[in-house]
Amino acid sequence: MEITDVRLYTVEEGTQGQLGAEEGESQYWGGGWQTEALIANPMSLYPEYKEERTSWMGPGQDPFVVELEAADGTTGFAANYGGGRYACDVVDTHFRRFVEGANAFDIERTWERMNRAQLPYGQRGLTMMAISGVDLAMWDLVGKLTDQPVYNLLGGKSKDSIDCYVTTHADVMEHMADEGFLGVKLAAPWSQEDGYREGLRKTEEMVAEARDLYGDDAEVMLDCYMAWDKEFTIRAADRLKQYDLKWLEDPLHPDAVHEYADIRDEIKPIQMAIGNLAFGYEHFHQFLQAGSGDIIQPEVQWAGGMTEVRRIAEMAKPHGLPVVPHGASVYNYHFVVSHTNAPYAEYLTVSDGREVRPVFDAIEGEPIPEDGTITLSDDPGFGVELNRDIVEPYEPAN
């Protein structure tokens, strides 16, 4: 079945489910916790960009949508929360030639053509986000054409339901404590840029509060978002072991392959989770060969789509390492339910972080956890629809 049309959309500003809190509610709060709250990040080095991530985040982190239409009128789509109009530019001006006219079932060949074509100028970031959007839209389209959920196309269910942990901010973590999640992951507000002793003290107090709030049976994790250096990571781990912290996530730069390997053993029994900002299987191959991590966390919507993350999972399996996709999306859930070495999934609180709600407003029918667990329907494709009320047709720059 031939793909006859590629349609691209941008998503209306302020509709991604990340806004809603009132400014000044607490010590660390700005607006929506994902973008305005105090969260340690690679730009924490610069005081003028430290307090709010929106002060330095660019349009490459905006959402976009790819919709594909087959010759019989069937459509498939993917809503990606990164790439924005820049990813649309790449698809429109470059990848379109490899998609329109292609057989909808030739996902591997189409993926490879896009990947090889962008090697001279891409290989990560926006170009991989663009590839991911097209790839996921193709999986959705094939599911619609065959009247099968994507997880069946991936080999069927490896589990009947998916246990989830919740990612939130320290200011609002109490609202998720009784929602049945297997654990909580906190965005780290502090780093060495706050002073080693002060940053470590505050981090320990936050983790201690989370352990007390969630109890001894819950897992507690910490997302460090590439903001820490080696010294802060090792010293933090030493202080946090007493709280039975499960993992530290992405504390160093994503290319610090050997640095991760150097400190992995030093922080045990705390595990190292890596891969949020790694793109393509080659980057993960480097991690695996160097022994850089314990939990492998590709972004399905960024690392190359379902096609590439399946490869990453197969590489991780001989190493005995679990693959827990970073972020929360229906795409992650179809991957997790169909792979034995993907034991659970992430659910991300949005808006003001006070209730369990859909993550991405551009998607209608997104599955959300009930008592910390997600059960997928047998609807074809990814089982969701595009919210056309908040998307706008992409317009090429003049």
What string of DSSP letters covers 38-97? ----TTTTSHHHHS-GGGT--GGGS-EEEEEEETTS-EEEEEESS-HHHHHHHIIIIIHH
CATH 3.10.129.10 describes domain 153-385: no
24 has a pLDDT exceeding 60:
no
| Residue 261 near residue 292 (C-beta atoms within 8 A) | yes
Provide the mean pLDDT of the chain.
Answer: 92
pLDDT, position 292: 97
Give residue-wise pLDDT tens across range 96-113. 999 999 999 999 999 999
CB-based contact 288:313 (threshold 8 Å): no
Say what the pLDDT of residue 106 is.
98
- 25 or 221, greater pLDDT: 221
Indicate the pLDDT class of residue 29, thresholds 50, 70 and 90: very low
Q: How many angstroms separate the CA atoms of 263 and 221, rounded?
A: 17
Whether 370 has a pLDDT exceeding 60, the answer reads yes
Contact 257/277 with Cβ under 8 angstroms?
no
With a cut of 50, say whether residue 22 has pLDDT above it: no
Catalogue the active-site residues.
Answer: 326
Give the pLDDT band (50/70/90) at residue 63.
very high
* pLDDT tens sequence across 301-345: 999 999 999 999 999 999 999 999 999 999 999 999 999 999 999
Helix (H), strand (E) at residue 233:
helix 230-240
- Residue 35's pLDDT band (boundaries 50, 70, 90)? low
Rounded to whole angstroms, the Cα distance separating 84 from 61 reads 6
User: For 240-251, what is each residue's pLDDT tens digit?
Assistant: 999 999 999 999
| Per-residue model confidence (pLDDT) at position 353 | 86
What is the C-alpha to C-alpha distance for residues 38 and 52, in angstroms, rounded to an integer? 6
pTM: 0.94
pLDDT tens digits, residue range 253-291? 999 999 999 999 999 999 999 999 999 999 999 999 999
Identify the weakest region by mean pLDDT among 27-36, 227-236, 336-345.
27-36
Which helix (H) or strand (E) element contains residue 212? Answer: helix 196-214
Name which residue leads in pLDDT, 90 or 40.
90
* Nearest partner of 291 among 315, 262, 266, 268, judged by Cα: 262
> Pseudo-torsion of CA 171, 173, 175, 181, nearest 10°?
170
Identify the band that residue 150 occupies on the pLDDT scale cut at 50, 70 and 90: very high
Q: Identify the band that residue 51 occupies on the pLDDT scale cut at 50, 70 and 90.
A: confident
Using alpha carbons, list the distances in angstroms from residue 128 to 51, 69, 119, 150, 299. 29, 22, 10, 21, 11
